[in-house]
């Protein structure tokens, strides 16, 4: 398509003070993007300006989104600004939709200088919901702190942005579109791609599709139920699990991406994927899975809704890693988990003598290790699991990893997990979230808590609840020195480690859009009592966690908004 020379304008603007990207990029209520003049433009310009002009000129950038409300408006702006900022080529998902793992895959495949994902991940969608923008760098991973800091600094001083207001792209037609601009950067091309195919191709080279097909549609096949949660994953699930691997079409539900994500919170956890959990409880299906809105998270359920914590999930995948052909070829370079994730993975690392890294929350800390060839498999307690095939967590990859284990072992997911506990012991694990807490109250509570924890007198203290006594071994504010680039990340969560290895961690979320979200993570290791109720087992530590922080008193809450 040739729309003739398009005008490039420089538009004056004024900065906003609050455009610091959080754990998952810049996330705000939709109305913030809609009502604040040039709020989106300012941020996009800051992203482009953070890239050296020489690197930007003629370069390729990937653009995708999870299809939520405001996606199309935002893509139009991104396209118009990319052209005006010298980008040579944009690769955009069909209809502007591309999962977060696929963005990472496509950035790497096309050697793009980065990717822009229009997503607020697992936050609610629709006009009253959230919208977000995430920038990934050339490796395909979420921008690291040096980059996000630079973007933030630019956004605080921005005075103008560049845009081609007349440029209109057709997102519905696959293939190349060419535009001539009146400035020196020309021509500008846009390529609308079928990201499902690129992503499927990547998975074909990782897993044994013939074995998976046999598992899902062979003579002794298992029945699975997959919920795409009205998010971006529908087309990927249909193409890969149903069409290619032979799972029946009705095994996959909520496969049409909706702007309001069906009105539900599109998170991959059993408290959000309630339909899936209910269906699984009926016993008709052997294995269940769901994804979040942008497809990077996963929840795995066994028959009758047997729930597998993400911390256990990554440990089980690690223990069975050679059921995945990719790792038979690459070998295993290392394992990693975020600090608040349970230490189940550590047990496997120790037994297999594979290096284990404990990183701060957020995928950007993992991919640095992957780029350095030190990490193969990692996970976060927040339903994120992934390998070094891309630089994002990957929901469907995790599901195929589990199915590969099921195919190789011919056991149920529940039996595999229970055998795992018998061999390695069990890390009981829970997370309490207190959402939308008054920001000042949350920050003051964290500051006071830190003062208490770092006081020398705190180590050695004993806490008793009923017959259980826990003695503090150490307490600190987690700090991480990246082993690759020696960068230091401070204030990554307050943690209390007890002498039996149990841990309580407190953190403020970096992805919320209203007030503050306080997260309390509890992890306790058991060698004997392997098959008890998690909340019963962790009740004493939960009591201690609330007592030490005085969380309810300080926030005015009587209980968590969500327990996972
Ligand atoms: C949350 C999760 C974290 C994940 C991030 C992006 O961040 O806890 O593990 O990396 O979303 O998906 P938080 O809100 O805790 O900062």
Q: Indicate whether 3 pLDDT > 70.
A: no
Pocket test for ligand 1, best of 510, 521, 564 (most atoms within 8 A of CB): 510
Instruction: Return the percentage of the chain with pLDDT > 70, whole number.
Output: 99
Q: Indicate whether 267 pLDDT > 90.
A: no
E strands, 332-425, are 335-338, 356-359, 377-380, 384-387
Residue 338 CA: nearest ligand 1 atom is 9
With 0-12 / 13-18 / 19 or more C-beta atoms within 10 angstroms meaning exposed / middle / buried, residue 47 is buried
**Contact present, 254 and 230 (Cβ < 8 Å):** yes
Q: How is the beta sheet containing 426-437 ordered, strand by strand?
A: 462-465, 468-477, 494-498, 503-508, 516-526, 426-437, 562-563
Task: Verify whether ligand 1 is closer than 6 Å to residue 362 (CB atom).
Answer: yes
Reduced to 3 states (helix: H, G, I; strand: E, B; else coil), residue 222 is coil
Query: CATH number of the domain at 199-424, out of 1.20.1440.230, 3.30.465.10, 3.40.120.10, 1.10.10.60?
Result: 3.40.120.10
> According to CATH, what is the number of the domain 9-193?
3.40.120.10
Q: Indicate whether 514 pLDDT > 80.
A: no
According to the model, what pLDDT value does residue 4 have?
64
The model's confidence at residue 24, banded by pLDDT at 50, 70 and 90, is confident
According to the model, what pLDDT value does residue 1 have?
47
User: Which residues on neighbouring strands pair with residue 160, listed in sequence order?
Assistant: 12
Give the residue among 157, 122, 156, 151 at the shortest CA–CA distance from 135: 151
CATH class held by domain 426-563 = alpha beta
Q: Indicate whether 314 pLDDT > 70.
A: yes
- State the Cα angle at 195 between 194 and 196, rounded to 5°: 90
Average pLDDT over residues 282-294: 95
Distance CA 228, CA 25 (A): 22
Which residue would you say has higher pLDDT here, 145 or 334?
334
According to the model, what pLDDT value does residue 246 have?
96
Distance 22 CA to ligand 1 centre (A): 9
Q: Does the bond joining 187 to the residue before it have cis omega, within 30 degrees of 0?
A: yes
Distance 331 CA to ligand 1 centre (A): 29
According to the model, what pLDDT value does residue 468 have?
85
Cα 306 to chain centroid distance, Å, stands at 23
Nearest CA to ligand 1 atom 15: 509
Q: Indicate whether 2 pLDDT > 60.
A: no
Average pLDDT over residues 113-130: 93
**Contact present, 155 and 19 (Cβ < 8 Å):** yes
Task: Verify whether ligand 1 is closer than 6 Å to residue 142 (CB atom).
Answer: no
The four Cα atoms 193, 195, 201, 207 give a dihedral, to 10 degrees, of: 180
Give the residue among 421, 365, 367 at the shortest CA–CA distance from 390: 367
Distance 25 CA to ligand 1 centre (A): 10
Distance 50 CA to ligand 1 centre (A): 24
> What is the 3-class SS of 7-70, one letter each residue?
CCEEEECCCCCCCCCECCEEEEEHHHHHHCCCHHHHHHHHHHHCCCHHHHCCCEEEEEECCCCC
Question: What separation in angstroms does the CA of 286 have from each of 243, 309, 384, 385, 415?
Answer: 20, 17, 22, 21, 12
Nearest CA to ligand 1 atom 13: 509
Each residue of 421-478: pLDDT tens digit?
Answer: 999 999 999 999 999 999 999 999 999 999 999 988 899 999 988 888 899 999 999 9
According to the model, what pLDDT value does residue 266 have?
84
Q: Where in the chain is the domain with CATH 3.40.120.10?
A: 9-193, 199-424
In degrees and rounded to multiples of 5, residue 456 shows phi and psi of -55, -35
Which residue would you say has higher pLDDT here, 58 or 133?
133
Nearest CA to ligand 1 atom 4: 362
Distance 275 CA to ligand 1 centre (A): 23
Which own/partner contact pairs does 546-549 have at CB distance under 8 Å and 24+ positions apart?
546/520, 547/463, 548/449, 548/452, 548/463, 548/496, 548/504, 549/445, 549/449, 549/506, 549/520
Distance CA 446, CA 198 (A): 44
Task: Verify whether ligand 1 is closer than 6 Å to residue 117 (CB atom).
Answer: no
The DSSP code for 185 is: S
- The structure tokens listed for 304 are 């009758």
Nearest CA to ligand 1 atom 10: 362
According to the model, what pLDDT value does residue 22 have?
86
Each residue of 522-547: pLDDT tens digit?
Answer: 999 999 999 999 999 999 999 999 99
Task: Verify whether ligand 1 is closer than 6 Å to residue 340 (CB atom).
Answer: no
Each residue of 162-214: pLDDT tens digit?
Answer: 999 999 999 999 999 999 988 766 689 999 999 999 999 999 999 999 999 99
According to the model, what pLDDT value does residue 270 have?
80
Nearest CA to ligand 1 atom 6: 24
Distance 508 CA to ligand 1 centre (A): 10
Beta-carbon contacts of residue 103 (< 8 Å; ≥ 6 apart): 62, 64, 93, 115, 117, 136, 140, 195, 392
Pocket test for ligand 1, best of 509, 517, 560 (most atoms within 8 A of CB): 509
According to the model, what pLDDT value does residue 182 have?
84
Q: Where in the chain is the domain with CATH 3.30.310.50?
A: 426-563
Reduced to 3 states (helix: H, G, I; strand: E, B; else coil), residue 519 is strand
Average pLDDT over residues 34-47: 98
Percentages (nearest 5) of helix, strand, coil residues in the chain: 35, 25, 40
Per-position DSSP letters for 223-238, written without gaps between them: -EEEE-TTSTTHHHII
Pairing of the two strands 287-291 and 224-227: parallel
Distance CA 99, CA 264 (A): 18
Distance 185 CA to ligand 1 centre (A): 38
> What is the 3-class SS of 433-498, one letter each residue?
EEEEECHHHHHHHHHHHHHHHHCHHHCCCEEEECCEEEEEEEEEECCEECCCCCCEECCCCEEEEE
Residue 507 CA: nearest ligand 1 atom is 15
Distance 382 CA to ligand 1 centre (A): 7
């Amino acid at each position: 398509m040739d729309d003739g020379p398009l005008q490039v304008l420089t538009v004056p603007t004024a900065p906003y003070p609050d455009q610091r990207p959080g754990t998952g990029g810049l996330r705000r209520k939709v109305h913030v993007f809609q009502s604040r003049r040039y709020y989106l433009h300012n941020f996009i310009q800051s992203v482009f300006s953070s890239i050296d002009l020489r690197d930007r000129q003629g370069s390729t950038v990937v653009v995708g989104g999870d299809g939520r409300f405001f996606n199309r408006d935002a893509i139009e702006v991104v396209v118009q600004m990319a052209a005006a900022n010298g980008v040579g080529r944009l690769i955009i998902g069909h209809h502007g939709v591309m999962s977060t793992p696929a963005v990472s895959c496509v950035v790497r495949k096309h050697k793009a200088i980065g990717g822009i994902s229009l997503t607020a991940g697992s936050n609610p969608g629709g006009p009253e919901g959230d919208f977000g923008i995430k920038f990934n760098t050339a490796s395909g991973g979420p921008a690291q702190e040096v980059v996000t800091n630079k973007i933030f600094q630019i956004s605080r001083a921005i005075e103008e942005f560049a845009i081609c207001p007349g440029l209109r792209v057709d997102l519905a037609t696959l293939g190349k579109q060419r535009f001539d601009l009146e400035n020196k950067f020309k021509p500008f091309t846009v390529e609308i791609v079928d990201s499902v195919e690129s992503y499927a191709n990547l998975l074909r080279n990782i897993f044994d599709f013939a074995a998976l097909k046999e598992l899902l549609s062979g003579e002794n096949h298992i029945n699975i139920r997959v919920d795409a949660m009205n998010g971006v994953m529908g087309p990927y699930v249909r193409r890969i699990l149903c069409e290619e691997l032979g799972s029946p079409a009705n095994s996959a539900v909520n496969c049409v991406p909706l702007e309001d994500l069906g009105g539900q919170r599109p998170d991959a956890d059993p408290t959000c994927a309630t339909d899936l959990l209910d269906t699984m409880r009926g016993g008709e299906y052997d294995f269940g899975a769901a994804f979040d809105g942008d497809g990077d998270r996963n929840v795995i359920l066994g028959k009758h809704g047997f729930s597998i914590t993400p911390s256990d999930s990554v440990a089980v995948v690690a223990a069975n890693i050679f059921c995945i052909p990719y790792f038979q070829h690459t070998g295993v370079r290392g394992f990693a988990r975020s600090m608040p994730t349970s230490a189940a993975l550590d047990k496997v690392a120790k037994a297999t003598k594979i290096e284990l890294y404990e990183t701060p929350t957020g995928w950007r800390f993992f991919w640095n290790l992957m780029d350095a060839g030190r990490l193969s498999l990692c996970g976060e307690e927040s339903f994120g699991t992934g390998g070094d095939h891309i630089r994002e967590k990957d929901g469907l990859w995790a599901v195929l990893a589990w199915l590969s284990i099921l195919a190789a072992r011919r056991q149920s997911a529940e039996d595999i997990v229970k055998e795992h506990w018998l061999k390695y012991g069990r890390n009981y694990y829970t997370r309490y979230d207190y959402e939308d807490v008054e920001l000042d109250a949350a920050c003051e509570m964290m500051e006071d808590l830190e003062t208490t924890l770092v006081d020398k007198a705190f180590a050695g203290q004993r806490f008793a609840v009923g017959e259980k006594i826990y003695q503090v071994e150490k307490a600190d504010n987690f700090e991480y020195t990246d082993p690759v680039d020696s960068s230091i990340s401070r204030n990554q969560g307050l943690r209390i480690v007890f002498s039996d290895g149990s841990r309580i961690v407190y953190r403020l979320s970096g992805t919320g859009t209203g007030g503050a979200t306080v997260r309390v993570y509890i992890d306790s290791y058991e060698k004997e009592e392997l098959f008890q109720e998690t909340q019963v087992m962790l009740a004493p530590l939960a009591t201690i966690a609330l007592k030490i922080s005085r969380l309810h008193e300080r926030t005015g809450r009587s209980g968590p908004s969500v327990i996972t």
